[in-house]
Amino acid sequence: ETGVTQSPTHLIKTRGQQVTLRCSSQSGHNTVSWYQQALGQGPQFIFQYYREEENGRGNFPPRFSGLQFPNYSSELNVNALELDDSALYLCASSLGLAGVRETQYFGPGTRLLVL
């Protein structure tokens, strides 16, 4: 059984650019959630995908968007990058219907630096 993987591990972008982060869920998991973790803070929920549909969104602007593919892998896209977008972006996968209290297992994260 493979765990949650994310790519790339690190990324440097400049303000105004666009970025795509990728996540492969744990084997058998069909739900993916994305979180943003600023330095010294707890993770903050961005959104969740279940069976290729967005199922819930946190307090993030529309320039944060996502996709989930038939194999349950997922992408997080951020347009018009701002300096405050610099953070660790975490993907978590879980099994079962969204909203059912299934444990979320996190990947190692992608460290994004916006200059």
Q: Using CA atoms, how far apart are residues 36 and 115, in angstroms rounded to an integer?
A: 17
Q: Using CA atoms, how far apart are residues 89 and 21, in angstroms rounded to an integer?
A: 8
Using the rule CB under 8 A, which residue among 64, 74, 104, 114 binds other proteins? 104
* Nearer to other proteins (CB atom), residue 11 or residue 98: 98
Using the rule CB under 8 A, which residue among 1, 39, 62, 101 binds other proteins? 101
Quick check: 2 binds other proteins (CB under 8 A)?
no
The answer to whether the CB of 7 falls within 8 A of the CB of 91 is no
- Binding to other proteins by CB under 8 A, coded x per residue (else -) over 24-63, reads -------x-x-x----xxxxxx--x------xx-x-----
| Residue 27 neighbours by CB under 8 Å, 6+ apart | 1, 2
The closest alpha carbon to 25, from 82, 67, 65, belongs to 67
Residues that bind other proteins (CB under 8 A): 4, 6, 31, 33, 35, 40-45, 48, 55-56, 58, 90, 94, 98-99, 101-109
